[in-house]
A and B are shown apart, each in its own frame.
Chain A
């Protein structure tokens, strides 16, 4: 009864092991899900998808053929609705399935069995990634004969089809990984599935429109740019709903990605950016599989990720940082240079919000709760008793002052760099902001990051959520209320400036010396300093309380040195 079995995934070398792990058809988790999801009831979904795909393909194709008599045009037109069905299956249905499947296993407790098996975390990540949506993959395959028919009839070359499907799958895996992370973090399954699907819709259909505002990076999380580059030019102009008469993006999608001063293939750029995010999400899942109670990202990786994402972001932003009004007029976006100020204002604003949001998310993911900090102190003390080095300052359970400071300084540097470039050679050169003007947003970013980190660490999640509502949201609502009811206008900014969200807007507005009249500008700048002082005071107060709490905890831990064992054999 004690013979040892050998796990099939145990190859001698790393490459061999990785190759085995990628053979998803050997993965037990995939097979488990295959058994669970491919019962007779699944026949209905297969029949449904088959009927709908056939209907959409042949009705569109046949209809266009009847009207225009051109098989190529008819086939290419039918690609869009069939592609939407494929998108729906792989992006929405499969992602929702992954989130609900993971939460279901967590709620029933069966996930613990899988956690205990000798399957490596990579096997588990791959198993759930391809196992939970196994039915969706097969449904997708079911639509492929129709798509192949259209691609062949539409005479689309492989050089067009392959990049689109490569990015389609890369994007699908990105959303699936996102669904898996949310499934491992969230608790209530119905709400989580709705949230995941809403997130996928927002990323695909809302965030790309930030391109119109000069912030193009977010569209590369989807298949849209590659589709626009490769397939849209081959489609009849009325084949893509809503595309007729749509404004051109500042980043021209038909000629690759402008990345700093280079032009990079859209396919390669999308794969690279999505690859970074997939790797990060996979790392989060991997860490969760290793230790469910641990943080989903380590502090050191979080800092690396932030810098890498910023480099991607600034690279795509670059052409918009250095354009001048004549570029915009040449693109036909401006009839005269009267709107340059608004472009100068909007890019730092969106970039500032984006940078601060990512930094806050990383602070949230990596900050140890007070209990974790206490456990870390105990562990560190124990290690020292055993003549081992104490915990690293980048350990999950270590205080987050160092990592938060690095994050805040990086954000300060990136924001200042972007604004300096804009002020030297870009649109801000025409509004000539002063030095204080350029420092306002970087300073706000640093303050907001410390404010967030301190309140999160001191107040813990529940009280923090209450503070978030009261201090981040309520001042804005109160200002709107007073503006509406008492007909106050600019003066309500003094109230709204209590919210860090308003502070970001105020700091961007403060860049524009010439845009506002002097009276408005004074109110904006005064509000900025009032808000800054207010938030700085709260941060200082919370920081002081946090330090005292930590000192107290440290003293308690020192007093409660691990006692000798109770009773041993």
Chain B
């Protein structure tokens, strides 16, 4: 082993200066991160940010150009086989063997992971039940829809009861019910000590289940940390205002006049009676603005913070027009 892994037993996955080059392209650039046991770590970023490459390196499918990866304190480069049993990897657009039935596909993995013959059937049934695919156990892989395939691959990933789950865009193709089920499965597993690293380019998929987040952009991990801390550090800047109007032209002008007069408001846009605005003040500034709107005779029906708050953080961090800010964050 080149170096000793971080001694804290709570850290399950650790990378140090991990870099991956595909020819001239640097897919992952000096990524250093630590993920603690029991966390659901969301890896987010636009397409091509390097999320899948990083997950593949963690799964030992690709060797980094350089850098160290430790899983449960074991150097992946030194002893990959002892780590392999603890990992469950679900790739993006994951396939199933088309010529096998669902239960045969899962039983193969049960055998490959050394589950005793007399326990395999029960384990397969348990995993199928978890992903709500029991009734399709006799279906052939080639006959499954995209969402069903994802669920079967998730079941395959759960077969060895891994300590670490690496899920690359796991919800793509799943219907809303299956997505909710996926969240429940992950939350339940992590409450039992399993660590999950989940990648997605859609933040809303991860926002409400992740405990911590890493934001990747152009191969770099531009920000990583606790989800709540990230939200505090990058407060929500967008508000949505809905008003009741009888004379839209006149009243739109009135609303805009009040909003634009406020020192905390910027970038006002509206569609009909819904206004979206940038807001930089605290809660008392919000109250003050509402008071001014009401005093101006505007009938406010709602005033709220935008719900896709994590998207704001991501956009702010990786926006192409915000490269300078990204650089600054990188050197925090």
How does the 8 Å CB contact mask read for A264-303 relative to B, with 1 for contact and 0 for none?
A: 0000000000000000000000000001111000000000
Asked if B125 is at the interface (CB within 8 A of a chain A CB), the reply is: no
Asked if A58 is at the interface (CB within 8 A of a chain B CB), the reply is: no
List of B residues within 8 angstroms of A110 by Cβ = 95-97
How does the 8 Å CB contact mask read for B78-122 relative to A, with 1 for contact and 0 for none?
A: 000100110101010111111111001000110111111000000
The docked-state distance in angstroms from the alpha carbon of A8 to that of B32 is: 36
How does the 8 Å CB contact mask read for B152-163 relative to A, with 1 for contact and 0 for none?
A: 000010001101
Given the interface pairs A116-B87, A375-B65, A378-B21, the reply to whether A568 lies near B104 with Cβ below 8 Å is: no
Asked if A4 is at the interface (CB within 8 A of a chain B CB), the reply is: yes
Which positions 197-250 of chain B face chain A at CB distance < 8 Å? 220-225
List of B residues within 8 angstroms of A382 by Cβ = 17, 66-67
- Do the beta carbons of A36 and B114 come within 8 Å of each other? no
Q: Give A35's nearest chain B residue, CB to CB.
A: B104
Asked if B19 is at the interface (CB within 8 A of a chain A CB), the reply is: yes
Asked if B34 is at the interface (CB within 8 A of a chain A CB), the reply is: yes
From B172-180, B187-195, B302-310, the one touching the partner chain is B187-195
- Do the beta carbons of B30 and A109 come within 8 Å of each other? no
The docked-state distance in angstroms from the alpha carbon of A2 to that of B156 is: 16
- Do the beta carbons of A109 and B114 come within 8 Å of each other? no
**Contacting residue for A567 out of B3, B89, B330, CB 8 A:** B330
Asked if A517 is at the interface (CB within 8 A of a chain B CB), the reply is: no
The docked-state distance in angstroms from the alpha carbon of A563 to that of B31 is: 10
**Contacting residue for B222 out of A9, A293, A375, A566, CB 8 A:** A566
The docked-state distance in angstroms from the alpha carbon of A27 to that of B108 is: 10
**Contacting residue for A112 out of B23, B67, B87, B91, CB 8 A:** B91
List of A residues within 8 angstroms of B156 by Cβ = 113
Asked if B59 is at the interface (CB within 8 A of a chain A CB), the reply is: yes
Asked if A330 is at the interface (CB within 8 A of a chain B CB), the reply is: no
List of B residues within 8 angstroms of A159 by Cβ = none
- Do the beta carbons of A568 and B32 come within 8 Å of each other? yes
- Do the beta carbons of B30 and A5 come within 8 Å of each other? no
The docked-state distance in angstroms from the alpha carbon of A383 to that of B3 is: 11
How does the 8 Å CB contact mask read for A4-33 relative to B, with 1 for contact and 0 for none?
A: 111111100000000000000000110110
List of B residues within 8 angstroms of A32 by Cβ = 97, 100, 104, 108
Given the interface pairs A371-B23, A382-B66, the reply to whether A120 lies near B81 with Cβ below 8 Å is: yes
List of A residues within 8 angstroms of B89 by Cβ = 116
Asked if B329 is at the interface (CB within 8 A of a chain A CB), the reply is: yes
Asked if A191 is at the interface (CB within 8 A of a chain B CB), the reply is: no
**Contacting residue for B163 out of A2, A292, A293, A379, CB 8 A:** A2
Shortest distance from the beta carbon of A491 to any chain B beta carbon, whole Å = 45
Shortest distance from the beta carbon of A98 to any chain B beta carbon, whole Å = 16
Given the interface pairs A1-B192, A116-B87, the reply to whether A565 lies near B17 with Cβ below 8 Å is: yes
Shortest distance from the beta carbon of B121 to any chain A beta carbon, whole Å = 14
Q: What class of interface size applies to chain A in its complex with B?
A: 35 or more
- Do the beta carbons of B332 and A567 come within 8 Å of each other? yes
Shortest distance from the beta carbon of B128 to any chain A beta carbon, whole Å = 16
Q: Give A4's nearest chain B residue, CB to CB.
A: B85
- Do the beta carbons of A108 and B65 come within 8 Å of each other? no
- Do the beta carbons of B91 and A109 come within 8 Å of each other? yes
**Contacting residue for B19 out of A115, A383, A562, CB 8 A:** A562
List of B residues within 8 angstroms of A120 by Cβ = 81
Given the interface pairs A5-B113, A371-B21, A569-B33, the reply to whether A35 lies near B189 with Cβ below 8 Å is: no
The docked-state distance in angstroms from the alpha carbon of A2 to that of B329 is: 37
Given the interface pairs A2-B192, A375-B65, A382-B66, the reply to whether A569 lies near B225 with Cβ below 8 Å is: yes
**Contacting residue for B97 out of A3, A28, A36, CB 8 A:** A36
- Do the beta carbons of B17 and A567 come within 8 Å of each other? no
Asked if B285 is at the interface (CB within 8 A of a chain A CB), the reply is: no
Given the interface pairs A2-B193, A5-B161, A378-B21, the reply to whether A562 lies near B30 with Cβ below 8 Å is: yes
The docked-state distance in angstroms from the alpha carbon of A371 to that of B96 is: 33
The docked-state distance in angstroms from the alpha carbon of A113 to that of B19 is: 24
List of A residues within 8 angstroms of B97 by Cβ = 32, 36, 108, 110
Asked if B61 is at the interface (CB within 8 A of a chain A CB), the reply is: yes
Asked if B63 is at the interface (CB within 8 A of a chain A CB), the reply is: yes
List of B residues within 8 angstroms of A569 by Cβ = 33-34, 224-225
Mark B residues whose CB is within 8 Å of A: 2-3, 16-17, 19, 21-24, 29-34, 59-63, 65-67, 81, 84-85, 87, 89, 91, 93-101, 104, 108-109, 111-116, 156, 160-161, 163, 189, 192-194, 220-225, 329-330, 332
Extra A-B contacts (7), CB below 8 Å, given A29-B108, A116-B61: A1-B194, A28-B108, A29-B112, A31-B108, A118-B84, A566-B32, A568-B33
Mark A residues whose CB is within 8 Å of B: 1-10, 28-29, 31-32, 35-37, 108-110, 112-120, 291-294, 371, 374-375, 378-379, 382-383, 386, 388, 562-569
What are 13 contact pairs spanning A and B, CB under 8 A? A1-B189, A1-B194, A7-B114, A9-B114, A109-B91, A112-B61, A116-B89, A118-B84, A118-B113, A378-B21, A382-B66, A383-B66, A566-B31
Q: Which 5 A-B pairs have the closest CB atoms?
A: A565-B32, A7-B114, A28-B111, A117-B112, A382-B66
